[in-house]
Amino acid sequence: MVKDPAHTGACELFYHDIGDHLSREEKLAIVEQFGSIDNMEWQSIKPNDAGDWINQRDPAFEHFSLLDGKDGVFTFSCNGIQTNRGAWVYHFDKKSHIKNDPNDWSDDPRYIIDLVKRIIRVSVKTMRIVKALPPLNEAKN
């Protein structure tokens, strides 16, 4: 960002897109090809109502269904299958060089994907069962 001390009035921001997913060196090489920032084509940018300057959000997302919460697709949420044993399950012993890695449990490259799909399927079926239950009338003390 370059500040012009002689400028008066509202702030003006200008932007030049040099591409995505570039390394620092690639970005600097592109800027260096211009020789000076005066040789670059700049576009004036202004924030939208949401305060986005660049890559402004698409208003169509405002009409998408919420995934969770009171009005969401899923009214009940949890952490799913969780053991909190990650540090125990994945282990490498320096002396014996024995490694216990869940990614090695199957030669099938789709093993984890299929496992997650089964977990999701069980979760969805569980939600259907829970939604079909009659309301619980708890006695007030």
pLDDT per residue as tens digits for the range 84-98: 666 556 666 778 777
Domain boundaries, the chain: 13-59, 65-132
pLDDT of residue 33: 93
Query: Splitting the chain (141 residues) into consecutive groups of 10 residues, what average pLDDT does each group show?
Result: 78 86 91 89 87 82 77 70 63 74 74 85 90 82 64
pLDDT tens digits for range 28-40: 999 899 998 889 9
- Per residue, the 3-state secondary structure of 58-127, as one string, reads CHHHHHCCCCECCCCCECCCCCCCCCCCHHHHCEECCCCCCEECHHHCCCCCCHHHHHHHHHHHHHHHHH
pTM equals: 0.37
